[in-house]
Structure formats: structure tokens, C-alpha cells
Amino acid sequence: MSHRDEDVTADSWRQHRKHVFVLSEAGKPIYSRYGSEEALSSTMGVMMALVSFVQSGDNIIRSIYSDGHTVVFLQKGPLVLVCVSSSRQTEKQLRGELLYVYYQIISMLTQASISRIFEHKKNYDLRRLLAGSEKILDGLLNLVDSDPSFLLVAVQCLPLASSLRDNISQILQKAITPNLVFSILIANNQLLTIVQEKTVIEDSRLEPADIHLLLNLIGASSAFQAGEIWTPICLPLFNPDCYFYAYISYLDPPECTVCLLLLSTDKEAFYAVAECKRKIEEAMMAQNSLSLIAKVQSYSVSQVGVSDLRHFMYKPFDVPDTYQQLTQFTSPEMEAPYSSEEEKMRLLDLYRYMHSRIHSTSRPLKLIYHVAERETLLAWVTSKFELYTCFSPLVTKACAITAITKLLRWIKKEEDRLFIRYPPKYSTTPNPSKSSRGGKSDQQDSTDNGFLSLL
Amino acid sequence: MGEKLPKVPGDPDTLSRPMRTLRVKMVLLGSSGVGKSSLALQFCKDEFRRTSPTVGCAYLTQVVHLREVTLRFEIWDTAGEEKYHSVTPLYYRGAHAALLVYDISNRDTFIRAQVWLRELEKQYLSGSTVLWLVGNKGDLEQRRQVSAQEGQSLANDRGLFFTETSALSGDQVEQLLLGVAHRVCECVGAQQGALSEWKETPHVDLCHRNTFNPFASCCKVGP
């Protein structure tokens, strides 16, 4: 049974760990993670009533705590996003997740067109425009629950010998055309490499959240497996009001594990960009890259060689220099005892708890040693990195500290393989003066990001 | 329509005499869920798959051999969702053929196809683009809401071609593509230079160095 058809009066519906609702300021339902929006229109009406009631007193409702549930509200322009969670996550974390949902909607419609639509018609039914995209939002929420990338706001790249990664990057670097801005290669839904236009990222970097949204879009839909896709897409953190044009094509049909994503600012550039793909495909064929990529796997914590260490997440802080880095983290596969979905979720919940303590606004911590029921965790944040480790329950504090020293040494040794050290660049604009942030995107072209014609 | 769609590249006929290959841009328009992507898949891969909603537009190609000429169809399979409507002109601009697809078991999609038709009629002079009305999901006969006569009479009134297909069974799909190929040749191809020639981009093939050797002839020069 699809989540859309769920009976919203049933107990099972109430027992979902995390509900997410999106509604318009007029109280019109736009999205519900479980159950159909129609069936929930009165529930959403109540939510909107709460928002308006507090608003009428010149206040903003942020959250409601009840026995076992946290309700978090987020208002963004004409949209109201609500999360009802029985997880132990903090309000701040839940609000961060709602923001991802908002951004995913923006990535499909742009912020400018959403505001314009609701300026003209307050009770517009936005589901008309989101039709066909519910799966993308569902997929995002599942990822948010299961992938720590969202919690850490960092990207995990596929571990790869730096020589192979460099080769592939060079192939992408050579296949360019005017107005090409980002060339991204993805394997098994993980980032393999990303090449960026020099002048475009001079004054703004590509945020991890934008990459997460792209990865989710590709992972959540099988639509990209048919032919070559040419679609408008907005990167909300880069510029919430403009579209890029994305060329998306798998390089290894019918398996469809290696996906190429080329982003251009020129909507007419399809043939030129498709030609770049042809070049990339040829070069990868000549170097046998695809079969090398196919062998690549994530790594096991046992490779670190520290006996009590079960799992970790390591996020280095990049050096603030002119060489814009991509915020990344590395983490091994979750292995026994964290093989089942429940156990994975339990470990992630522990990490979320550690994260909330480290990043607490009232009392942030630098180091936390937490002895849980079935494991011991240690989180540590310095000016150079943020680290979360999970040990067997019998580890001693001294052992854990030694283990972390060993782990840090191992990561240092492996960092060329675990991270994209220097994200490569290319220059596709003959006239760099034109290419300030978003300036090349077709913001001026009202036919393109405007949905006014529909009203 | 005697020809068959060749499934093997390198049809003996094409090898014996060089034939021109012309590019034909064909766009599929219609509501979401009427089967545009399934039709496109049938055209190009001869298979049926349940597809997810198209994101933006999918580009596929298929070669059709006619007696006189080879056509390389560049098929733009657009997304039917409303959020993409404002960008759809990007995909249908310059198309030689447009398929207006509806679902015979859903009247709304038939009405929507007429909206697309009006939009196209604003853009095109008759004769420059082959417009074809396609009633898909012919396999859903029991749930039919739009009769074949209705489709046919709309087509007659507006000067369209008309076919009912089933992307599920493949019924009439091959015939449709061949029909479009013939009409494009007759209507559009008659105008000089309306169709551009397609040439494969030559590339250096390192595996077959013998094919090109600038010095090969040097040795033969001399007494």
C-alpha cells in the first residue's frame, strides 16, 4: 500500500515516527508524508489556525512539546512546514530537516515563482505544480532519516584512489562548452567528482545542501534511466530564484549506477552539453574508467585496525582560503551490530543526540563521552574537525582516546582516497565579467521561471 | 508503408549505396500519465516499462529507414506535469512533428490535448509541422471515455493525422512512427533545406590506426 492511500484515522498512521506536512498560508494542504492531503485538510486547517492565532499577537509559533511528541513549525514565505516527531531529535534538528523539504520544493519551482503565485492568488493549490514530485519529497524524507549527510551538512564522496579520481576529473575538465557551470559524476548515489566553473564559484561556493538535493532527485526517480534528460533545476542555496539547466544521463545503461550531471546556465545548450557527454563517454571508454568505478566500494571500519571501534563519522573543516572547498565527511559502512534497519536508526539517533549536545545553543560542548546501554560514544570538536565515534560498551576512556589518535592517523594517511582534496575547476566563460553570482542565469527571462501564465 | 523498422544497424541496403540521413525533431506533448514516455520507449527500444513521471524532458533517438532516405528521429519526450508547462516551448520549438497524446480512458486528457493543439497552432503555420493526434492506452477498451470517432473527427476538423495506439501492447506504435516519417518527408521534406543532414561526428579511433595514415602515400612517390 502506498503511503498516499493510508487511512489517516488509523492508529498506525498516528504511530509514524515523523510526520511532515506542507501547507499554504491560506491553510491549503500541499504535501503530507503519510496519507492523502485531502483527507488531512482539516488537520492542516488546525495547524494553520495555530500559526495564525499566534501571529495575530505579533508572535511566531516555533514549537509545541507534548508527551512524547515534538511539533515544529517553520514558515518560509507563503509556505508553512510542520513536523510532528516522536523521535528524540531536537527542535533545531527537526527545523533543519523542514528546511531541506522547503529547499527541495524550491529546487523544482524557484522561490520567486512561488511568491509570485501566492501574491496573485492566495488560495492557489500548489499541488497542481508539485504533481509528480511527491516521490522526490518522500525520498528526501527517507534520506534525511537514514543518511547522516543531512545532519552533518556535508557531502560524503565515494572512496577512490586519488589517481583514478584525478583521471576522471580531468576527463570532465576537458569536456566543456560555454556556460557550463558544474560537471558532476555520481556512482551509486555517491559523489565521485565535481568540477566547477572558476569564476562562478569565486564569490559563492556550492553548498552541500544543494548537492544533497541533486543526489536525492536522481536517486528518487527512475525517470533518468530513459534517454538523456534536459530539465530546469534550481539550486536554492546557490540562488533560490533562478534555474540552471541540467543535463542528466546514466553512463552505464541498463545497470544505471554511474550518472553524469552537467549544469548549464544556457537553456538552449542541450546539444552542446550532450556533445560534452559524448566526449566524456569516449574518454572513459578509452581509459576503461567505468569498470574501475564498478569495483569501488565503501570501506569497512576494520580497515582502520582499531579493535573496539565500531563506527565513526569524521568531518574536517576546510581551511578558509581562496581555494573554495566542498564541505565533506567520511564514514565507513555500518556493519554488525548495526546491520538491521532498526539498529542503524538507533545508532543514528545516538549520533543525533551527540550532535545536539555538541551544537547546543545554550551550552555547546567540545568533547562528550557518553556511555550508552549497548555502546559507548565519544564526540569531539576542534578547530580542525568534528568527530563522532562509536565503541563497544566495554571500552575504557583511556582506550577510546588511544583509539581516536590511531583513527586520526589513519584518516590522515587515507585522506587522498576519502576526500576530494582540491575540487577541480574549469573555465567556460570567455568573458568573466559576465559571470557574477547567478548573473548568467536567466533571472531576467520571465517566461522561464514564471508560472504566471498558469494562473 | 511497406518498410519495417530495421532492428539491426547496418542494413545491407544502406551499405550498398550511401543514403542521406536527415534529422527530424519530434516532440511528444500531453497530460501527465497518458503514456508519452512509454510510447517513446516503444519507438526507441521496442519495450514496455512502467515509467516514473518524466523530469523536464527526455531526449531519445531512433533511426527509421525509408526507401529514399534515412530519418534520424530526435524525440523530445516532455513531462506532462503543469510545473514544466512554462518551459515546454523550449522543447517543441522547431519541431518537424508533434504528437499530441491523450489517454482514451480519460476525457480530461483529450481536452488537454486540444489546449496543446491551440498553443501549437499559434506557433506554427500549417504544413511546416506534422501534427498527429494520438489516442493511447488502446488496451483499456472497457474503460474508454473518448471514442475513436471523436478523435478522428477532431483530427479531420483541425487537419491532424490520427492514430489510436497501445504503448502497453505495442499495437500501432511502429506504424505510427513510420506514418510520421512518411508525412514528415512529404510535408516538411518537400521544402528545401527544412531538414538538416545528420553526420556522425568523426573521431580519431586509436584502435584502428591503419584507417588514417598521412604518410602512407609518401613511399609510393618517386621513380
pTM (predicted TM-score): 0.88
Chain B residues touching A227 at Cβ < 8 A: 40, 44, 58-60, 75, 77
Take residue A152 and report the three cell numbers written for it: 552533518
| Residue A80 lies in domain | 3-133
pLDDT at A220 over 80: yes
Q: Taking all residues of chain A, what is their mean pLDDT, rounded to a whole number?
A: 90
pLDDT at A431 over 80: no
Angle at B213 between CA B209 and CA B214, to 5 degrees: 150
Residue A69: inside a domain: yes
CA distance B54 to chain A (A): 5
Contacts of A232 in chain B (CB under 8 A): 56, 84, 87
The residue in chain A having the minimum alpha-carbon distance to the alpha carbon of residue B87 is A448
Q: Which of A130, A131, A222 sits opposite B52 (nearest CB)?
A: A222
Choose from A109, A221, A229 for mutation: most chain B CBs within 10 A.
A229
Per DSSP bridges, beta strands A69-76 and A63-66 are antiparallel
ipTM value greater than 0.90: no
Give the count of domains, chain A: 3
List chain B residues with CB under 8 Å of A450: 86
Closest in B40, B53, B91 to A132, CB measured: B53
Nearest to A231 among B57, B85, B203 (CB): B57
Sort out which chain B residues have CB atoms less than 8 A from A229's CB and list them: 54-59
From chain A, pick out residues whose CB is under 8 angstroms from the CB of B203: 282
Of B12, B41, B17, B33, nearest in space to B170 by CA: B41
Q: For A307-366, what is each residue's pLDDT tens digit? A: 899 999 999 987 655 456 789 999 999 999 999 999 999 999 999 999 999 999 999 999
Q: How far apart are CA A108 and CA B83, in angstroms?
A: 8
Question: Do A290 and A323 have their domain in common?
Answer: no
A443 and A332 belong to one structural domain:
no
pLDDT tens by residue, A29-49: 999 999 998 899 999 999 999
More confident residue, B123 or B205: B123
| Residues A413 and A430 occupy one common structural domain | no
pLDDT at A204: 73
CA angle A394, A380, A90 (to 5 degrees): 95
Residues A337 and A288 in one domain: no
In this prediction, residue B68 has a pLDDT band, given cuts at 50, 70 and 90, of confident
**CB pairs A-B closer than 8 Å:** 99
Angle at A53 between CA A51 and CA A55, to 5 degrees: 70
Domain membership flag for residue A153 = no
| B44/A268 CB distance under 8 A | no
> Same structural domain for residues A286 and A435?
yes
Q: Which residues of A touch B (CB under 8 A)?
A: 108-109, 128-133, 135, 217, 221-224, 226-233, 246, 248, 267-268, 270, 274-275, 278, 282, 286, 447-451, 453-454
Which ranges in A121-179 belong to alpha helices (H)? 127-130, 134-146, 149-152, 162-174
Smallest Cβ–Cβ distance between A226 and the set B51, B91, B201 belongs to B51
Last residue of a domain, one of A89, A118, A133: A133
Mark yes or no for CB contact B58/A217 under 8 Å.
Answer: no
Class level of CATH domain B18-219: alpha beta
* Residue A9 or residue B212, greater confidence: A9
Same domain, A436 and A405: no
Per-residue pLDDT tens for A120-137? 999 999 999 998 899 999
Percent over 70 (pLDDT), chain B: 78
Task: Sketch the domain layout of chain B as residue ranges.
Answer: 18-219
CA distances from A35 to A3, A41, A102 (A): 6, 11, 19
Query: Counting beta carbons within 10 angstroms of the beta carbon of residue A298, is it exposed (0 to 12), middle (13 to 18) or buried (19 or more)?
Result: middle
Assign A427 to helix, strand or coil.
Answer: coil
